[in-house]
Amino acid sequence: MSRASFLILSACWLLFLPELAHAGGEKNRLIAAEAEPQNWLTYGRTYGEQRYSPLVQINTATVSRLGLIWAADMETIRGLEATPLIVDGVLYTSGSWGMVMAFDVRTGKRLWKYDPQVPGYWARYGCCDVVNRGVAYWEGRIFVGSFDDRLIAIDAKTGQEIWQVNTIDRTRSYTITGAPRVVKGKVIIGNGGAEFGVRGYFSAYDADSGKMLWRFYTVPASNEGPHESLALSRAAATWSKATRWEAGGGGTVWDSMSYDPELDLLYVGVGNGSPWGREIRSPGGGDNLYLSSILAVDPDDGRLVWYYQTTPGDSWDYTATQHILLADLKLGGRIRKVLMQAPKNGFFYILDRETGELLSADKYINATWASHVDLKTGRPVETGQADWSNGPKVVMPFDPGGHNWQPMSFNPGTGLVYIPTHVGALLYKPVDKFTYRPGAENMGMDLPGIFRTFVGGEKTGVEKYPVYGELQAWDPVARKKIWGVVYPRTMNGGTLTTAGNLVFQGTGDGRFAAYKADDGTRLWQVSFGNGILGSPVTYSVDGRQYVSVLAGWGGAAMLGHDAGKFGRLKYINNGYLLTFALGGKAEFPDLEVRDYTLPKPPPPTGTKQQVENGMDLYHSHCARCHGAMAISINMLPDLRQSITRTSDVFADIVLDGLLQANGMAGFSDLLTKPDVEAIRAFIIKRANEDYQVQESSRR
């Protein structure tokens, strides 16, 4: 289709939605997705990503009769974060590692499963579990990014692979966790990895052939160039000559995208810097464009049209990869085409999506790093309280941000945005001297030192801050919270809102609930057991409205920002796809209670110095997944338990990757034999300490 006819179609789509869906055929289905409320054709339902459904069979009066009709085993104990798609009665969803399944909605029968066969060792290159947030649909094909960074096209009918392409330099620690979007026959995908030291970008691939059409790097590769684009030549001036270019700069595009067909602009959210601290990354540098920015690009060639940087010179992992939602709002007496985002940094932004002009920015949670955003300059005014370049600082929001990848939703009926927020502070502490290490975490944070403050019960100031999650109903016009529901866990699910005046959300403590969208009254709730992070969808088949959500704990939540309050998971973290409808009476799947009893550990080994050294190494390389002090607070093995079985083969596992198929990679590139012996000595010491406590409490 020519650009001219595309624009004409775009301009009239509001008037002729149902006709267009048929007349234009498959190519226009996504543009006219609004006209197919029975389906959920793209990640945010429509290109504007409002996650609002016009369906009303399930409403405030009927929702009390909502019940489970089927549950499907997702064959994983790892985190589930996807938004399923529904195309004409078939539900497509990704699971862990970028695996994809298709189900018949009426029966819950699985039609096919596609396994991208990701090598298990790739797990160590991800900050936050082996999750995947969803697939894209286009002309009978399903597109998914595998955790090891291959973009894959699958036949939607058969589940057979059509093509796959590698999207990265495989010597760097990239991962794909986000959902692709398809715009004008191009599959757009980015990746993550800024905690490990990578250079961020996103790319467009031809949906038919898999051929790469363009790539947009979000940060320069050097001061001098040559730069890949004019946008990067401009950005280079905002990085100092002393920039640690070997660490990649960061700026990964790991989640949010939306598209306005009328303006023909693709909006993309950019992540944090690598390493985190601005003075470590780019000493004496400037804003470090385009970190923590919202970019508007031309989807035809990837040319930058405008940008807005939320956190200039980001130092706190304040990504702007959070959900980008498009709406038309009446502001100051006239209708504005806006874009809304609640990025990690704690401010809710409204921009004119045509020009990038900042219209408002207001704190949706307490944020100590900046007092306000100056609407004239568009820049945050930093307080200075959060500058950790010379020593530790406690900063709010913490690194998961005030809001993370869990999508918000917008209900045109209530005029409210439903944001899954969280509250907490983090101790930011710099390393003495930053050295980039390939394959390791390269945040520039003194992780052993930070863990030692927890372990020693040291008062750092973090303890003064509350830790909780909150579903917020935010009025973008009045610029304030209208109602909120507080949750004990920080990480909860994405939100869905409907014309039935409802908001749906799963919770970190395993509930799935519906609230009255205008006032927040809870109208319905069920309990699954394991935490829910996924984003619910609603759709209809044969006149029956359904709601589906993925349930299974993990993702960044496995890092345990609220672990102190909750301790460990009650059940083995088997993940399920849950589907509900009015009158549903199915039983929830049984979950197996997890046994935390410690077997008798091997006798203590190693000198005091070795154990101390092992503790630091453990907290540099192992604690992210296996928990501080070897106490598992997520679904992964508790090493105080497993050391009894694995003590003799410990070096084979940790150095040589004996269990890499399970997701436990070898670390021979970072650790030596004596290092591993020291880590083993530390774990055995911890196992003995806690075993003694367990046995004495039994007596």
Footprint of Ca ion (CB under 5 A): 272, 317
Marked catalytic residue, from 255, 287, 317, 446: 317
User: 32 or 447: whose CB is closer to Ca ion?
Assistant: 447
User: 277 or 529: whose CB is closer to Ca ion?
Assistant: 277
The neighbour count for residue 24, using CB atoms within 10 Å, is: 17
Q: Any idea what the Cα angle at residue 374 is, between residues 371 and 380, rounded to 5°?
A: 50
Shortest distance, position 275 Cβ to Ca ion, whole Å: 11
Shortest distance, position 321 Cβ to Ca ion, whole Å: 8
Amino acid at 9: L
Shortest distance, position 195 Cβ to Ca ion, whole Å: 5
Helices 673-698 & 608-621 angle (0-180, nearest 10): 100
Shortest distance, position 251 Cβ to Ca ion, whole Å: 10
Shortest distance, position 327 Cβ to Ca ion, whole Å: 27
Q: Any idea what the Cα angle at residue 490 is, between residues 495 and 504, rounded to 5°?
A: 20
User: 45 or 393: whose CB is closer to Ca ion?
Assistant: 393
User: 395 or 629: whose CB is closer to Ca ion?
Assistant: 395
Shortest distance, position 315 Cβ to Ca ion, whole Å: 12
Q: How many residues does the chain have?
A: 699
User: 254 or 691: whose CB is closer to Ca ion?
Assistant: 254
Shortest distance, position 399 Cβ to Ca ion, whole Å: 7
Shortest distance, position 624 Cβ to Ca ion, whole Å: 13
Shortest distance, position 440 Cβ to Ca ion, whole Å: 15
What is the C-alpha separation between 644 and 390, in angstroms, rounded? 42
For the question of residue 328 being annotated catalytic, the response is no
Q: Which residues are CB-contacts of 191 (< 8 A; sequence separation ≥ 6)?
A: 145, 149, 167, 168, 174, 175, 176, 178, 198, 200, 201, 202, 252, 253, 254
Closest to 291 (Cα-Cα) out of 269, 268, 266, 273: 273
Peptide bond between residue 226 and the one before it cis (omega within 30 degrees of 0): yes
What is the C-alpha separation between 542 and 370, in angstroms, rounded? 52
Question: Per the structure block, which two tokens stand in for 681?
Answer: 């000595």
Shortest distance, position 271 Cβ to Ca ion, whole Å: 6
Shortest distance, position 39 Cβ to Ca ion, whole Å: 33
User: 272 or 538: whose CB is closer to Ca ion?
Assistant: 272
| 588 in Cβ contact with 529 (< 8 Å) | yes
Q: In three state form, how does the secondary structure of 569-620 look?
A: CCECCCCEEEEEEECCCCCCCCCCECCCCCCCCCCCCCCHHHHHHHHHHHHH
| 673 in Cβ contact with 651 (< 8 Å) | yes
The neighbour count for residue 416, using CB atoms within 10 Å, is: 25
User: 50 or 292: whose CB is closer to Ca ion?
Assistant: 292
| 415 in Cβ contact with 477 (< 8 Å) | yes
What is the C-alpha separation between 348 and 61, in angstroms, rounded? 32
User: 272 or 545: whose CB is closer to Ca ion?
Assistant: 272
Q: Which residues are CB-contacts of 504 (< 8 A; sequence separation ≥ 6)?
A: 495, 496, 497, 498, 512, 513, 514, 515, 536, 538, 547, 549
User: 395 or 503: whose CB is closer to Ca ion?
Assistant: 395
Residue 314: what are its φ and ψ, rounded to 5°?
-40, 135
The sheet carrying 52-53 orders its strands as 52-53, 495-498, 502-506, 511-516, 522-527
Burial class (CB in 10 A: 0-12, 13-18, 19+), 210: middle
Host H or E run for residue 138: strand 136-138
| 418 in Cβ contact with 411 (< 8 Å) | yes
Shortest distance, position 372 Cβ to Ca ion, whole Å: 24
User: 112 or 398: whose CB is closer to Ca ion?
Assistant: 398
User: 167 or 272: whose CB is closer to Ca ion?
Assistant: 272
The conformation of residue 64, written as its DSSP 8-state character, comes to: G
DSSP 504-572: EEE-TTSEEEEEETTT--EEEEEE-SS---S--EEEEETTEEEEEEEE---GGGGG-TTHHHH-S-SB-
Collapsing DSSP to helix, strand or coil, 667 comes out as coil
User: 49 or 317: whose CB is closer to Ca ion?
Assistant: 317
| 487 in Cβ contact with 476 (< 8 Å) | no
Q: Which positions are annotated as active-site residues?
A: 317
